[in-house]
Structure 1
Amino acid sequence: MMKKILSIIGSVIKNIFLVILCFLAFIVISSRFTGGESTILGYQLKAVLSGSMEPTFHTGSVIAIKLGANPSSYEKGDIVTFHMDNKLITHRISAVHNKNGEISYKTKGDNNDAPDLWTVYPQNIIGNYSNFTIPYVGYALNFVSSKTGSALLLVVPGILLTLSALRNLLHLRREFEQKTAG
């Protein structure tokens, strides 16, 4: 009975690992082919690199960013992802300014003591947080996006597929030998 339970748990863990591996491979390969960020049904997945938005989402998480909204339509309290000084930042809008019809935003990380020093303009915003977070997967996503990680993403599954095929061949050989001997 215990052996059966352990076998089921092992299968579940193996399948979860396989799904995550396929998911990461899809993201990395699609971003390499398109030359930019991979987009799935109007959403981009971003790895959280700092704790500035804790406890809303934690370092190492993956968050989904909804693209395509009018960047001038965001309101106080919305969480947006934007470019600032060649970095990608996700913070909450703390104030909206409308000066002569030109919209700008002040932002602040939930875990930061003070508002950000910069002003965010609509053209710098790429999207808003869609309340979808996957904890810890961001660490894996960052790793597989590196050269070493990309190489391992190709090599490791190849080795695992080869080992699985060899195991199946040995199993079939044993079955054949048992049938022919008996």
Structure 2
Amino acid sequence: MKRTLSFVIKSFIGLLCLGVAFLFIQNQQQSEQTPNLFGYSALTILSNSMQPEFSEGDVIVIKQSQADELVANDIITFGTKEGHRVTHRITDSTEQDGNFFFTTKGDNNNVADAEPVFEGQVIGKVLFSIPMLGLVSRFVSEPIGFMVLIVLPLVAYVGITVYERLARPTKKEEAFK
């Protein structure tokens, strides 16, 4: 029982550290390339333009998609000329000479986006969101958050491991029992 509990605690701490490290790295990546794993990306919502669907601090998971798979009412993430990522809903799509163009609008905005989105700008289609998880990412990027969510669990893990090794009876001690 004690070993099982120890294994569960160690596994939880290890997974927590890996998850937080992934969020930290993802949050720090500010390049034009969107980091992805097997075509899936996790991004943090930075504004309230898509409320009530998403709020600032939510994390969205997107899947790389082809333009011909997208239809009106899909929510997509696309890159702008300025290098920003925007997540808005498709209100209309047009095909001209084999190229797709999308009209997009934030659910909380009064008007559609001024510039059409060309198929090459589309990063992916939103699959689902995790409310408020982005706040954890933001917290981890601060020094106190990094200490609390990365360093302390690692120290606890090492401490538990050392304690268990020191608490184990040696072969000599077992022979005297």
Output the TM-score relative to the length of structure 1.
Answer: 0.68
AA aligned opposite 1:141:
S
The answer on whether the counterparts of 1:65 and 1:129 sit within 8 Å (CA) in structure 2 is yes
Q: What residue in structure 2 maps to residue 59 of structure 1?
A: 56
AA aligned opposite 2:133:
V
Q: What residue in structure 2 maps to residue 24 of structure 1?
A: 20
Cα root mean square deviation, aligned? 3.8
Superimposed CA distance per residue, residues 32-67 of structure 1 (whole angstroms, 9 cap, x where no aligned partner): 8xx964433321111111111112122211111011
C-alpha separation in 1, matches of 2:83 and 2:160:
44
Is 1:98–2:95 an aligned residue pair? yes
Q: CA deviation at 1:103?
A: 2.0
Structure 2 residue ranges without an equivalent (≥5): 1-7, 170-177
C-alpha separation in 2, matches of 1:169 and 1:16:
20
Provide the secondary structure at the position in 2 that maps to 1:40: coil
Q: What residue in structure 2 maps to residue 142 of structure 1?
A: 138
Q: What residue in structure 2 maps to residue 44 of structure 1?
A: 41
The answer on whether the counterparts of 1:31 and 1:37 sit within 8 Å (CA) in structure 2 is no
Is 1:81–2:70 an aligned residue pair? no
Q: CA deviation at 1:170?
A: 7.8
Output the TM-score relative to the length of structure 2.
Answer: 0.70
The answer on whether the counterparts of 1:71 and 1:127 sit within 8 Å (CA) in structure 2 is no
Count residues in correspondence: 166
The answer on whether the counterparts of 1:80 and 1:93 sit within 8 Å (CA) in structure 2 is yes
Provide the secondary structure at the position in 2 that maps to 1:92: strand
AA aligned opposite 1:105:
F
AA aligned opposite 1:86:
G
C-alpha separation in 1, matches of 2:77 and 2:105:
12
Provide the secondary structure at the position in 1 that maps to 2:85: strand
Structure 1 residue ranges without an equivalent (≥5): 1-11, 174-182
Q: CA deviation at 1:18?
A: 6.4
Is 1:133–2:129 an aligned residue pair? yes
Q: What residue in structure 2 maps to residue 4 of structure 1?
A: none
C-alpha separation in 2, matches of 1:40 and 1:87:
20
Q: What residue in structure 1 maps to residue 3 of structure 2?
A: none
